Structure 1
Amino acid sequence: MRQLCIASILLLLFAGSVLARDSRPGDFAYGITLQTAGTEALYQFSLPDVVYRSVTRSDLGDLCIFNRLGEVVPFTLSHITAPSPAIPERRKLTLFPVSGSRLQEPGNVSLLVKKGDGGSLVSVQTAEPGTRSSRITAYLLDAATVKAPLRDLILEWAEQPEGTVTKIRIEGSDNLEDWTLLAPSAVLIDLRYGNHRLERRIIDLNGSMMKYYRISSAAETDLPKFTSAAVHLSPAAAELPRHWTRVTAAARSNRTGDYLFTTSGLMPIDRVRVQLPQENTLIQASFFSRATEKDPWKQGPSVLLYRLSIRGETLTSPDVVLPVSSDRYRLLRIDQAGGGIGNGLPLVELGWLPARILFLARGGGPFQLAFGSGRPGTCARGDNTLFRQFYDQHKERYIAGTALAGAPVPLAGKAALRKPFLPYDTKTIVLWSLLFLGVATLAWMALHLHRQINITKKGNEK
C-alpha cells in the first residue's frame, strides 16, 4: 500500500510538470527567422503580411518567438491605431477682388495698392479707367501678418442654385510683382445629390510662407463670388504607413447592388478604397462585415462614393474610414436609387496598420517568429505584466533595435492549422489519463483506508 501511494504521488507530479510545458516551434505551421544586428537587449519589428494570412486567431494568440535553444522569449504585441487628427489653427485672410476684362490676364492688370504696417494690404484698386463695371478676374489674399507655414486654403462663395464646379489657379508673391505658381488647376465643387452634398473647398498650399496670394480662373469661366478665405496653419499629421491589399468583389445573385468580397487573412482593416467601374458615377453606399459566413452582418459607415470627370480631371471619393476589425467577410451595398454603378464590378482595396512586436533578446539568436496553430491556448508572453511595464517606464533610455523578418519557412506545415478533434494532442491525452488514474488511485486508497479504520473501531468496541 505504501509503495502504491508513493507511485501515485510521483505520477501526479510527473504529469503536472509535463502538462505545464511551454509552446514549441513544432506546434506552429510556419516560422520566420529574425535577423538582429548588435547586442541590444530589446528588438522590434512590424508584423509581416504573411503572418496575418496564416494565423487562426484574430487576437494573434497563435504566434510565439523562440531563441536558438527553442525557448520562448518574452515579447509584447502592440496594435497600432491611427492618431486622431489634430485640430489645426485657422486664420482668416482679407479678400480683395480685382476687376478686369475677361480676356485680360490677371498679371497684366495694373493695380493701385496701399499697404499698412508690416506690408498688410489696406486697399486694392485697378489703375485702368473704365474697369469698375468689368468682371472680377482675380482675388488677392493678404497673408502678410501670418508668420507660419500655410497648410491649406479654405474658400467660401455664394451658393448657386445649379451648383458650382470650377477650376482655379493660385499664385504666391512677396512683393505683388513676382509671382510663383502654387496650384495650376485646383478644382472647387459644391453640388447637391439628394440629401447629400459634395464639396471641395480646401486647396493644399504645402507649407507656403508667402505674403500675398492671387486666385484666378484656370478655365474659360468666371470665378465664383468668393465671400471669405481662411488658412490652416498647423502642419498635417504624418500619415502612418498603411499596408493595402486588393480583393475581388463578386455581385450577390439574390440582391442587386450587393457586392461580396473576402480578405485573405485576419488583418485589422481600418480603411477601404473603392474605384467605381464607370466615370461620372455618384452613388450612396454602405459597408458591412462579419467574422464567419454564419454570423449576422454588422453595419459599418454609409458614405457617398463618386468618380467624376470634371473639366479634364478625374475626381474620386477619398478612402473610407472603417471601425478596426479583422472580419474576413465583407459586403458593399450600393443604393440603386441613383442608378447603381452600371456595368462592371467595383475595385476594392483594404488597408490596415500592421502590429508591432517588441521582444527580449534572451538566450541568443537567431530568433524565430513561429505562427499559425489550431491548438488551444496561447503562447506565454509578457504583454500584460512586467515586460510591458518596464519598457513603458524606460523606453526613452533603452532604445530597441530593429529586427529584420526573413522569408517564411514551414515548421509543422498546414497540418498545424487544423483544430484537433480533441482539444489536445495524443501525448497530452495520455498524460491527462495518467493524471486522472493517479487521482482515482489516491481516492481508492483513501476509501480503503477509511474502511479499515472503521473495521478496527468496530473490533475494539466488541
Structure 2
Amino acid sequence: MRLACLLWVLLCGGAVAAEPREALEQGDFAWGIRLEPEVASPIYQLPLPQAVYQGVTRADLGDLQLFNGRGERLPHELQLPAKRLPGQESLQSIVLFPLYGTRAADLQRLSLRIRRESAAGVLTLEQQQMHRTQDDVLRGYLLQLWQGEQRPVIRRLTLHWPEPARGFMQRLKLEQSDDLISWRAVGGDQVIADLAYSGERLVKADIRLNGSLDRFIRLVPDKGEMAVELDAVEAVTVGDSQERPQQETPITTLRRDEQAGVYLFELPGRLPVTRVNLIPAESNTIVRATLYSRATAEAPWIRRSQATLYRILIDGTQLDQTALAVERVNDRFWKLAVDTSGGGLGESLPRVKVSWIPHLLRFSARGEGPFLLAYGSGSAVMDRPGSLLQGFSETQRRQWVSERIRVGQPFELAGTAALTPQRIYDWKQWSLWGVLILATLLLGWMAWMTLRQMQQRD
C-alpha cells in the first residue's frame, strides 16, 4: 500500500511541472495591436509602443510575436537605437594642387604663403605656374582639406576625372600633415579604377577615410606616375550628431518614504529610461539629488545618477536644471533621495517625468495583412532571431525597410489569463519513470526477501 502511494505522489508531482512553449499562437498572448501598412514593402519598422512595455512579462521583451493575417508567425527583431542621431552628410569642394616632377624627384614642388587672420594664423596655399620640362610627370596631388580652425569630420573623398582613353586600375598611398614637413600615413592603401568592357563602365572613385584628419593630404601612386589627371575632388563631411528625440512619460505614483527626503515611484512598464526629470513644485529650489533603481521590489537599490538640481528665478527669467541622466536601464522601481539640509524640496511633491527611447521593431511582411503584434505571455521562451538585414548593403536596407505603417490601439486577446504559465502534463514520460521506479523497488523487495530466506536457513 505504501509503495502504491509513493508511486502516485511521484507521478502527480512530475505531471504538473510547468514547461514554456516555443510555438505560441495568438491566443497564448494577453494583448494585441493591429499594424496596417500604408505602402507595400518587404520589411517594416516602427518604434515599440509604450503599451507593449506595460504588457510584457519579460525584461528582455521575449514574450512578443508578430503574426500575419492568416495567423502565421513572422520573423522579427528588436534594435535599441543609439542616444544620438548620426550627423548629416554634405559635400565640400577640396582645393587641389598637382605635384609634377621627375620620377626620382622630391614631391615638395609647391609654393606657400602665410595669411594671418587671427592670433594663431591661417595657413593657405597658392598654386603658381609650374614650368614642366620634358622629363616631368604627374607624381600625385596635394589636397587642402579645410581652412580656418574648425576641423571637419571627413568620411570619404570622391575623385573626379574625364573618361580615359583606356582603362586603368591604380593603387594610391595617402599621407597627412599639418605643416607640409612631417607626413604620416593615412590608413592602408586605396585603389581607384576606371574600366570599360562590352559597353559597360566600372568606376571606383571613392577613398574612405577615418574621420578627423590633418589639414593636408598627399595622394600619390604606390608606383610610377598618376594614371589619370583629376578634374576635382569632393569631400563627404559629417555634421555634428544630435540627440535622438525621446518620449516622455509623467509619473503618477510618486510618494514620500518614511525616511526624510526620500521619494519612491514605479514606472508603468519596463521602459528603457535615459533621463529622469525632477521638477520642484516651488521656485528658487536648489537640491542635491541621488537617483536609485532596482528591477524588483525585493532587489537591492543601485545608484544610477547624482546631480545638483535647481529651479530659480533671476530678474524675471526662469533658470532650470532638472535632469538626471542615466545609462539606459529598464528597471521598474525607483528611489530619489535629496539632501534635506537646505530645506529639500519643500512641502509639495515635485513632478517627475522619465525620458526614454523605444526599441525599433523590425519584421518581415510575409503573407497578407493586417499584421498583429501580440505581447504578454507567461508561456514564452527566449527567442534569439538573427538579423533580418545581415549581409545586405546600406542602400538595400534603405530601399527594403518602410516606416509607413499605421499602429492601432491595444486590445485584449487572451487577457491576464495568458500571463500565468501553463501546466504541461506529460503522462507518457512520467509513466515511464513510474515503471522504472516500480521495477527498482520490486527488485529491491525481491533481494530483501531472498536475503531473509537465506538467513532463516542458517
- CA distance in 2 between partners of 1:242 and 1:55 (Å): 21
The alpha carbon displacement at 1:309 in A equals 0.5
**1:269 and 1:350 in contact (8 A); partners too:** yes
Q: Secondary structure at the match of 1:407?
A: coil
The reply on whether 1:244 has 2:212 as its aligned counterpart is: no
Residues 20-39 of structure 1 show CA distances to partners (whole Å, capped at 9, x for unaligned) of 76110101111111111333
- CA distance in 1 between partners of 2:22 and 2:279 (Å): 51
Residues 63-95 of structure 1 show CA distances to partners (whole Å, capped at 9, x for unaligned) of 000112211111111012313999xxxxxxxxx
**1:410 matched residue in structure 2:** 412
**1:308 and 1:314 in contact (8 A); partners too:** yes
**1:30 and 1:371 in contact (8 A); partners too:** yes
- CA distance in 2 between partners of 1:19 and 1:350 (Å): 33
1:66-105 mapped onto 2 (5 Å cutoff): 66-83=67-84
Relative distance call for 1:304 and 1:19 in structure 2 (3 A) is closer
**1:437 matched residue in structure 2:** 431
The alpha carbon displacement at 1:317 in A equals 0.3
**Among 366, 372, 381, the residue aligned to 1:368:** 372
Q: Secondary structure at the match of 1:336?
A: coil
**2:214 matched residue in structure 1:** none
- Counterpart residue identity of residue 29, structure 1: A
Q: Secondary structure at the match of 1:261?
A: strand
**2:257 and 2:263 in contact (8 A); partners too:** no
Q: Normalising by the residue count of structure 2, what TM-score does the alignment of the two structures yield?
A: 0.55
**1:254 matched residue in structure 2:** 258
- Counterpart residue identity of residue 62, structure 1: D
**1:73 and 1:381 in contact (8 A); partners too:** no
**1:328 matched residue in structure 2:** 332
Equivalenced residue count is 287
**2:52 matched residue in structure 1:** 51
1:130-209 mapped onto 2 (5 Å cutoff): none
- Counterpart residue identity of residue 413, structure 2: L
- CA distance in 2 between partners of 1:56 and 1:274 (Å): 28
Residues 105-144 of structure 1 show CA distances to partners (whole Å, capped at 9, x for unaligned) of xxxxxxxxxxxx89879xxxxxxxxxxxxxxxxxxxxxxx
Q: Secondary structure at the match of 1:434?
A: helix
- CA distance in 2 between partners of 1:434 and 1:44 (Å): 44
- CA distance in 2 between partners of 1:287 and 1:19 (Å): 36
**Among 337, 341, 346, the residue aligned to 1:342:** 346
Task: Give me the CA root mean square deviation.
Answer: 3.7
Q: Secondary structure at the match of 2:69?
A: coil
The reply on whether 1:279 has 2:288 as its aligned counterpart is: no
The alpha carbon displacement at 1:337 in A equals 2.1
Q: Secondary structure at the match of 2:292?
A: strand
**1:96 matched residue in structure 2:** none
The alpha carbon displacement at 1:444 in A equals 9.6
- CA distance in 1 between partners of 2:150 and 2:273 (Å): 36
Q: Secondary structure at the match of 1:377?
A: coil
**1:302 matched residue in structure 2:** 306
The reply on whether 1:64 has 2:65 as its aligned counterpart is: yes
Residues 392-445 of structure 1 show CA distances to partners (whole Å, capped at 9, x for unaligned) of 77744643012321111110012212x33xxx34xx32xx22244367679999
**2:29 and 2:377 in contact (8 A); partners too:** yes
Task: Structure 1 unaligned segments of length 5 or more: list them.
Answer: 1-17, 87-116, 122-144, 150-233, 446-462
Residues 247-285 of structure 1 show CA distances to partners (whole Å, capped at 9, x for unaligned) of 136443421100111111110111111111111111111
Relative distance call for 1:73 and 1:294 in structure 2 (3 A) is same
**1:251 and 1:257 in contact (8 A); partners too:** no
- CA distance in 2 between partners of 1:287 and 1:349 (Å): 13
Q: Secondary structure at the match of 2:388?
A: helix
- CA distance in 2 between partners of 1:26 and 1:58 (Å): 21
Q: Secondary structure at the match of 1:414?
A: helix
Relative distance call for 1:56 and 1:42 in structure 2 (3 A) is same
